[in-house]
Copies of this chain bind each other. A is one copy, B any other.
Amino acid sequence: MPGPFTLGQIVSRLGGRVAGDPEVRIRQVGALASAGVGCISFFSSRKFAAQLAATRAAAIVVAPQDEAATTLPRIVVERPYVYFARLSQLFNPLTTQPAGVDSSAAVAKTARLGARVSIGPGCVVGEGVSIGDDSCLYPRVVVYAGCTLGVRAIVHSGAVIGADGFGFADDDGRWLKIPQIGGVRIGDNVEIGANTTIDRGTFEDTVIEDGVKLDNLIQVGHNVRIGAHTAIAACAGIAGSADIGSHCTIGGAARIHGHIRIVDRVNVSACTLISRSILKPGTYTGVYPFDENKAWARGAATLRRKGKKNV
């Protein structure tokens, strides 16, 4: 663990301005409500004023307009939360697994691993796979043959990259498998959550562009493209051949139909099914509002009557 650092040392590395004693020593970051001795926290919204008043943190990161909100030693910066993320990275390594290939991992001879790559216990890396510098595969990741990951990838346990896409032809009631001969091509700085699955393409590659962040238990179907810096929350499903733009956010358990297009800077709310293309940036939602069961049942009955009318 790096540190401790004084406030003065911190601003000389990360920028910002110290208000109060620059010799205060910081050993770790913490939340306002739970920060311990020697911790630094951040204040980003007046609704946390009571927590700020009660905090045991040794110092606070604040925006200029909140500089007077506390008498604790502080670091004043324009965007406290972004600064705080950097500060936490200063005290804590981004990945916690040593570089090198664990003896229980199965890495194909034809795989190419970049510098300082970490392959955890039980990982399986197939023929012809390429993994960029400084990437970390936590235990039990599988990368099927022919897939590529860029630099600084973080892949959590149980993720499966490159299994066959779900492609079948209906042969008089029997399903005839379409071989999936594409791969998966993943850009730089991508993080992939635990037990997430990304299928290989039918002919071409499934593509995950730079800076994409995928949470846990997400399904990415074959031939999908996810644009750069898009973030997708847990349990979402992206069906085959969907084309998702850059700088989008997809909420948890949302689902994107296959063969549709979503432009850049679209936000999809949690649990929403996107069933047609979205060509205009904005926020899109489609969830049934929950209620006490009885009230819900009345609303649902009304809805069903509307469906039955004029049949």
Contact = CB atoms under 8 A, between A and B. Distances in A.
B140 A122 contact: yes
Interface residues of A, number: 116
Contacts of A164: 154, 156, 191, 193
Interface string A118-148: 0011101000000000000011101011000
Contact of A104 (B28, B106, B272, B295): B106
A49 interface: no
A306 B171 CA distance: 43
A279 interface: no
A255 B275 CA distance: 17
A11 B98 CA distance: 55
Interface of A: 28-31, 34-35, 79, 81-82, 84-86, 88-89, 91-94, 96, 102, 104, 106, 120-122, 124, 138-140, 142, 144-145, 154, 156-158, 160, 163-164, 166, 168-171, 173-179, 181, 191, 193-195, 197, 199, 202-204, 211, 213, 215-217, 219, 221, 229, 231, 233-235, 237, 239, 247, 252-253, 255, 257, 268-275, 282-293, 295-304, 306-311
